[in-house]
Amino acid sequence: MNDKSLLKVGIIGTVTAALCCFTPVLVVLFGIVGLSALVGYLDYVLFPALGIFILLTIYALWRKRGQSGAAQ
């Protein structure tokens, strides 16, 4: 996986997880679908996912910066 696609995945994942963590997007969606009993468990999945995607974005930026510095 090249750095550009790694950065894309990291940013898209971070934004998606942040939207689901800090807005009631999934709560409303689960309520519509009928899975509102699972809303209490969302934090166990979303916060670690947000952390992983943030770390992935930082890693991709670090690799991109290292490659641009080596090319000079």
N- to C-terminal Cα distance for the chain?
23
8 vs 27: CA distance, rounded Å: 26
32 vs 23: CA distance, rounded Å: 16
Query: Residue 71: its pLDDT value, please?
Result: 56
Query: Residue 13: its pLDDT value, please?
Result: 94
Query: Residue 23: its pLDDT value, please?
Result: 85
72 vs 8: CA distance, rounded Å: 24
For the chain, the structural domain boundaries read: 3-70
23 or 68, greater pLDDT: 23
